[in-house]
Amino acid sequence: MNTYIVSTMSDSGKTAIVSALLRILSTRGFHVTPFKAQNMSLNSYPSIEGGEIALAQAMQAYVAGLMPSIYYNPILIKPMLSDKAEYIILGKPRAQLSFNDYLNNNLIRRLAVNAVKASIRKLTMEYDMVIGEGAGSAYEPNLASRDLANFRPAEWLNANVFVVLDIDRGGSFIQGLGLMRSLPPRWRRLVKGFIINKFRGDEKLLNTAIKWLEERTGKPVLGVLPYIDDLWLWPEDSMDLKPIGNGPLDIALIAYPYISNFNDVYPLILEDDVTVRIVRSPKELGEPHLVILPGSKNVVASLEWMRRVGLDKALMRIKGSTVILGICGGFQAMSKVLSDPHGLEAGVPGNYDGLGLVNVNTVYGVKKIVSLSKAVGLRDELEGVEVKGYEIHRGIPQYIGDEPLVMIKERNGRPVQQVDGVFREKDLVIGITLHDSLGDPNFRSFVLNIAREIAGLPKRNSQGLTSIDLLMSHIDKFSSIVKERLDIDFMINDR
């Protein structure tokens, strides 16, 4: 029986619970697949078809033993400006619209609906079970008639629906009752029960409230999951941005607006000598051993913010004494000039000043490169060494004085020859387009050992563990808890 997990709010733990269910059921021998009809996230990932999907559904694919596919997340919405987003349907960028235009553009809406239905048909034919995930609040009166994220795709899947209630933020039992009383009868019948998530304390204290909710809704509570503070799964949005570690190597992550794919820093959890701080001002920056400029969906807007708060000048002050690493959009931000003739990055066509940390310009084309990629190092300790990662970008580096750091040799299994990255040894500035490059032990050792030398710490080689290894260790830990505390057989049986 297909299963759909929804909630009354964002960041309630839906993604983690779906991931655990996928892991548990796949280890039981079921051929299961993730599915999220519509996701809004700046964190994305290449699919096996070469399209773009939400990072969370790529993660869920891996934990289910699958490669990411466009059919696991047929609609991805990537916010660009306060009133506009990029709409990616079945892996391809289709439009840049306001949300109101998206709701009322008949052509795009028809394309979106057809993509969701086609994905459901394909997945239900090819898999034993689909484990779906809703988005945000499961029922909003102003959006219900055009819902493409929650109960409508669950209905098309003929799925059992379970509602996650985030007890950590309070009001969960009232929210569960309110949702059930708000739903139209045909959707109310799909709901088979509740899951209490993020509880701290003695579960016996909930007995009265659980009985109260079950009596008023006629739906059982299937279990209570504890609050887990150190669960590092791939993030859906910036609400998941949090510090890492408590080691002597001081690392500052610049958290500018439109930050994307900041899971690039998660593999640093594997290094016990690091501390990663979240920085949003020059005062918070201080003098770290390493600064990371992460990806950004709107590099120009992120640059404007850095100038407004003074982080551009703060970075220039520590250049040469602190390693500065730019990844994808962060690498582009370090350019001298960013040329956006079509306005697809900034929203308005034009040439924009970068930080000028490298002798490279960035030119944004119409075509978006979306690929699982392999590169080989061209210099220093990386010479001849393979570096794996993934690419999601329109910006192409144009070299005007600096030498490339790597050569991208393969995209989605096809050979290419594309120079990339930079290493200005004198200024301690490193740039690379490959997301998840820090998840590659070779590149992680290269960057961290330069920073360790500055910090007076001994160099070391990473243990060969990748970002996927880290993911699997954490999902296995969470899955063991879910297996003990949820009635999974009830969830997957026909009702």
**Out of 289, 393, 435, 474, which one is annotated catalytic?**
435
pLDDT of 230 reads 84
pLDDT of 44 reads 95
Q: Provide the 10 A C-beta neighbour count for residue 106.
A: 7
10-44 tens-digit pLDDT:
889 999 999 999 999 999 999 999 999 999 998 99
Active site residue 342: no
pLDDT of 19 reads 98
pLDDT greater than 90 at residue 83: no
pLDDT greater than 90 at residue 330: yes
**Out of 328, 342, 393, 474, which one is annotated catalytic?**
328
Q: Provide the 10 A C-beta neighbour count for residue 127.
A: 18
Domains, the chain? 3-232+472-490 (3.40.50.300), 241-459 (3.40.50.880)
238-277 tens-digit pLDDT:
667 889 999 999 999 999 998 999 999 999 999 999 999 9
pLDDT greater than 90 at residue 344: no
pLDDT greater than 80 at residue 495: no
Instruction: Kindly state the percentage of the chain with pLDDT values over 70.
Output: 99
pLDDT greater than 90 at residue 59: yes
pLDDT of 38 reads 97
473-490 tens-digit pLDDT:
999 999 999 999 999 999
**Once rounded to an integer, what is the mean pLDDT over residues 211-224?**
97
**Once rounded to an integer, what is the mean pLDDT over residues 213-230?**
95
The owner of tokens 């996928």 is 22
**Once rounded to an integer, what is the mean pLDDT over residues 330-348?**
93
362-400 tens-digit pLDDT:
999 999 999 999 999 999 999 999 999 999 999 999 999
Tokens for 481?
A: 């808890």
pLDDT of 82 reads 67
pLDDT greater than 80 at residue 494: no
124-174 tens-digit pLDDT:
999 999 999 999 999 999 888 889 999 999 999 999 999 999 999 889 999
Tokens for 246?
A: 């408590």
Burial of 285 (0-12, 13-18, 19+ CB in 10 A): buried
pLDDT of 170 reads 87
**Once rounded to an integer, what is the mean pLDDT over residues 97-109?**
88
pLDDT of 84 reads 86
pLDDT of 239 reads 62
pLDDT greater than 80 at residue 468: yes
Lowest mean pLDDT among 356-360, 361-365, 425-429, 464-468: 464-468
Which of residues 83 and 159 earns the better pLDDT score? 159
pTM score: 0.93
- Tell me how far apart the alpha carbons of residues 277 and 284 are, in angstroms, rounded to a whole number: 9
